[in-house]
Amino acid sequence: MKDNSLKAALQGGEMQLGCWLNLGAAGAAELAGVTGFDWALIDGEHGPWDIAAIQDQLRALASVGQNAVVRVPVGEAWILKQVLDIGATSVLVPMVDTAEQAAGVVAACRYPPAGIRGMGAAVARASLYGHEADYTARANQRICVMVQAESRAALDNLDAIAATEGVDVVFIGPSDLSADMGFPGNPGAPEVVAAIEDAIGRIRAAGKVAGIFDFNTAQYPRYRELGVTFLAVAGDATVLRTGLAAAAARAREALG
């Protein structure tokens, strides 16, 4: 397995643009992998949590040389173990509200003595089923650990979360954060925007990579100015829905 070029790019301060994959389809993942993004995220939280399908999507992305991230549904050790063993090198964990939760995520992604990850790599895709004999010696540094801050509690504890050793990226979830702040469906509310900008500054001050999801291209220069380098700009389900709706509308307009 290759080293984690996405982690290296982020640590080098390079802007990395990505696409969210919610359809759970290897074909969609493969397509996203050749359309100019720097990474693609397989969403196991709001997409189908099917470990075999996630493995197929990892294979599809690897076949076209695309960096893959897997978002797990929850930060439990057994779930992270499965995702890492099928070959994920970057994982995103939602709803991390405390430094203790962040430390638990890191531990689940590290082999002992640095963590609690189970020593089953010899039979897993992660090591090419034992072909990469030194996988366990290299994996702790290879894995990119990303946690999501998407609640008022997370913002209250953000400095400690970002300071957690082993956390590489802190990702802001605008939709859940805005809902928790009392503005459901309105991540553009001034109070939410102010909270997000403050959070990005605190993440960067801790020396960690800041990430966010936003389809509004008008916001991208501001995010870059703030120091965001892990930026999700599209999603397969959304692009397909809007593209198909536009095609149907054009056809009906052409026919009068």
- Catalytic residue numbers read 46
Pairwise CA distance, residues 186 & 194, whole Å: 13
Nearest to 200 by CA among 229, 160, 232: 229
Amino acid at 221: P
169 φ, ψ to 5°? -135, 135
**DSSP β-bridge partners for residue 18:** 39, 232
Burial of 119 (0-12, 13-18, 19+ CB in 10 A): exposed
Residue showing tokens 């010899």: 122
Q: What is the SS3 assignment for 115?
A: coil
Residue 219 DSSP one-character state: G
Torsion angle, alpha carbons of 146, 148, 153, 159, to 10: 40
CA–CA distance, 70 with 74 (Å, rounded to integer): 12
